[in-house]
């Protein structure tokens, strides 16, 4: 892979076997209690999901705007896709990268499913006046407060997304899946250990893994922002980030999980991605991407192969 466009090597000198050997960092003693308490509190909230139809037929889907209430009374907005024909047998919560999203994804093969595309707090359609929508600053929002750091709120937005989907479609209980890429891959890893309503998950080039390692590896984007902040606030930054390490959460994920991890990535260091996959104790599958956050000739072919794998991986949700 050509790294000439960067002043560092987005492969970081790791072979695939070395990536598959990355281990987990130390964890806080009260990691479980911290997250369990947040989950239990989130489950007391009525998401009050509301929908408004936008289009009756867009590539085989009925398209709705959706909004629901998350923790701290934060309004979360996004889209809901419903198949025009057939029975809805399963549901998916589908996240987005740190750039947010301006539309739902129409290419997914789950034509018997309700697809929820929430925008996490502060981003895209869920923009807030008090939160920067720029990833460089969003990732630092309340980073000095372990209970208020922005990533925790985004995890809660995911949990309440599942609540909203089940509020609209109660018969989908036991038939929910999650797909997260980059930013939402990491958010998904943090959310899934405590969320038993989601039965299967896919994490694509997931971020927020192994903070002690990723803070040392030169990277573009939001991680660069964290690294710059860390240089002058080392003790406080690590004190908070250790509760938001996707690797530590992955150790606790009990559902079948499919990961797509890249061996070359200038925005999410591959060792941090693979550390998340390596930590998964339950049934897991790995799709190795040639690159993440970087264009390459084989990209379209790999994306098609990945979609085919996901089609098969999530098929049990229809049963």
Q: Residue 127 has what pLDDT?
A: 97
Q: Residue 19 has what pLDDT?
A: 98
Q: Residue 214 has what pLDDT?
A: 94
| Residue 262 pLDDT exceeds 80 | yes
When the pLDDT of each residue in the chain is averaged and rounded to a whole number, the result is 96
Please state, for a pLDDT cut of 90, what percent of the chain lies above it.
97
Q: Residue 10 has what pLDDT?
A: 96
Q: Residue 1 has what pLDDT?
A: 83
Tokens representing 184 are: 């939402």
3-class SS of residue 28: coil
Residue 3: pLDDT band by 50, 70, 90 thresholds?
Answer: confident
112-127: b (≥16 Cβ within 10 Å) or e? ebbbbbbbbbbbbbbe
The single residue listed with the structure tokens 């998964």 is 280
Residues 206 and 181: their CA atoms lie apart, in Å, by 6
Q: Which of 268, 253, 279 shows the shortest CA–CA distance to 222?
A: 268
Residues 171 and 318: their CA atoms lie apart, in Å, by 12
Residues 279 and 5: their CA atoms lie apart, in Å, by 32
3-class SS of residue 61: strand
φ and ψ at 234, to 5 degrees? -60, -55
Residues 85-128 pLDDT 10s: 999 999 999 999 999 999 999 999 999 999 999 999 999 999 99
The whole-model pTM stands at 0.97
Q: Residue 282 has what pLDDT?
A: 80
Q: Residue 2 has what pLDDT?
A: 79
Tokens representing 262 are: 């890249």
Q: Residue 55 has what pLDDT?
A: 96
**Could you tell me the strand order of the sheet in which 90-94 lies?**
50-58, 61-69, 75-83, 113-118, 90-94, 176-181, 198-204, 257-262, 284-289
| Residue 176 pLDDT exceeds 80 | yes
Residues 122 and 115: their CA atoms lie apart, in Å, by 21
Q: What domains appear along the chain, each with residue ranges and CATH number? A: 16-313 (3.40.50.1820)
């Amino acid at each position: 892979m050509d790294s000439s466009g960067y002043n560092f090597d987005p492969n970081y000198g790791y072979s695939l076997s070395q990536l598959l050997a990355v281990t987990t960092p130390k964890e806080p003693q009260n990691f479980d209690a911290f997250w369990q308490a947040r989950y239990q509190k989130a489950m007391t909230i009525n998401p009050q999901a509301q929908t408004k139809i936008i289009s009756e037929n867009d590539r085989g889907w009925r398209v709705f705007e959706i909004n629901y209430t998350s923790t701290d009374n934060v309004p979360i907005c996004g889209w809901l896709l419903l198949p025009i024909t057939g029975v809805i047998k399963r549901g998916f919560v589908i996240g987005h990268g740190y750039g947010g999203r301006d539309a739902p994804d129409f290419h997914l093969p789950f034509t018997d499913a309700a697809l929820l595309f929430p925008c996490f707090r502060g981003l895209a359609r869920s923009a807030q006046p008090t939160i920067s929508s720029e990833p460089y600053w969003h990732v630092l929002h309340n980073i000095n407060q372990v209970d208020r750091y922005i990533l925790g709120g985004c995890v809660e937005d995911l949990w309440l997304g599942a609540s909203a989907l089940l509020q609209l479609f109660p018969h989908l209980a036991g038939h929910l899946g999650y797909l997260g890429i980059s930013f939402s891959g990491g958010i998904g890893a943090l959310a899934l250990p405590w969320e038993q309503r989601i039965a299967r998950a896919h994490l694509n080039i997931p971020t927020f893994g192994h903070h002690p390692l990723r803070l040392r590896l030169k990277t573009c984007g939001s991680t660069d922002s964290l690294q710059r902040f860390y240089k002058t606030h080392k003790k406080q930054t690590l004190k908070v980030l250790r509760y938001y390490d996707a690797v530590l959460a992955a150790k606790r994920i009990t559902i079948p999980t499919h990961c797509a991890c890249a061996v070359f990535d200038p925005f999410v260091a591959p060792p941090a991605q693979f550390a998340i996959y390596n930590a998964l104790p339950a049934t897991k599958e790995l799709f190795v991407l040639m690159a993440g956050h970087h264009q390459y000739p084989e990209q379209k072919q790999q994306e098609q192969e990945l979609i085919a794998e996901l089609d098969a991986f999530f098929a049990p949700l229809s049963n």
